[in-house]
Amino acid sequence: MSLIVGVSDMKVSDDTEATLVTYSLGSCIGVAIYDAVARVGGLLHYMLPESSLDPEKAKKNPFMFADTGIPALFKAAYKLGAKKQRMKVIVAGGAEILDQKGVFNIGKRNDAAIRKMLHRNNVIIDYNDVGGVVNRTIKLAVNNGDTWIKVSGKGEKKI
């Protein structure tokens, strides 16, 4: 059973029949987390680095922003028994799709936001596929943590 994670969305599951999927990661970042002991997986698809850009939107949807969505992702996984020190973390996206001249650098700013936040909280990124000018898709199988990243023009690879 696929659980689709839309743009500015997050899902966490301990259902071993579930596969979490998010599509069309351009400048957005997808963060997949997995705890193999608790068999808990989570996936976040955030659009922007800082909730201070629009505090009203952040209140309505914390998953739109890195600084509110990432803590929400980890906290939801902890509620299902996951532990930070066991977490596998995979990050993808952060491309410059609509901004190839680098005017706004949303992809780079999104990548910098997650790196800074995870570093500050002593969380290591296990796999990173960020940047460029391509869209990506992430799939995470909750039963065993298998993760695939599909890169436009390059196909899908298991991490």
| pLDDT tens per residue across span 47-89 | 999 999 899 999 999 999 999 999 999 999 999 999 999 999 9
Torsion-angle region of 8 (φ positive above 0: left; ψ -120 to 50: alpha; else: beta): left
Please tell us whether the domain made up of 2-158 is placed in CATH 3.30.1330.200.
yes
Nearest to 34 by CA among 88, 80, 70: 88
Residue 99 scores a pLDDT above 90 = no
Under a CB-based contact definition with an 8 Å cutoff, are residues 116 and 100 in contact? no
Confidence (pTM):
0.95
Q: What is the pLDDT of residue 53?
A: 87
Helices (H) and strands (E) in the chain, counts: 3, 10
Domain ranges of the chain: 2-158
Enumerate the H helices of 1-142 as residue ranges: 55-60, 66-79, 106-120
CA-angle at 19, arms to 17 and 84, nearest 5°: 100
Look at phi and psi of residue 43 and say left if phi exceeds 0, alpha if psi is from -120 to 50, else beta: beta
Categorize the per-residue pLDDT at 100 as very low, low, confident or very high, splitting at 50, 70 and 90. low
Assess whether pLDDT exceeds 80 at residue 91.
yes
Task: Report d(CA 138, CA 152) in Å as an integer.
Answer: 12
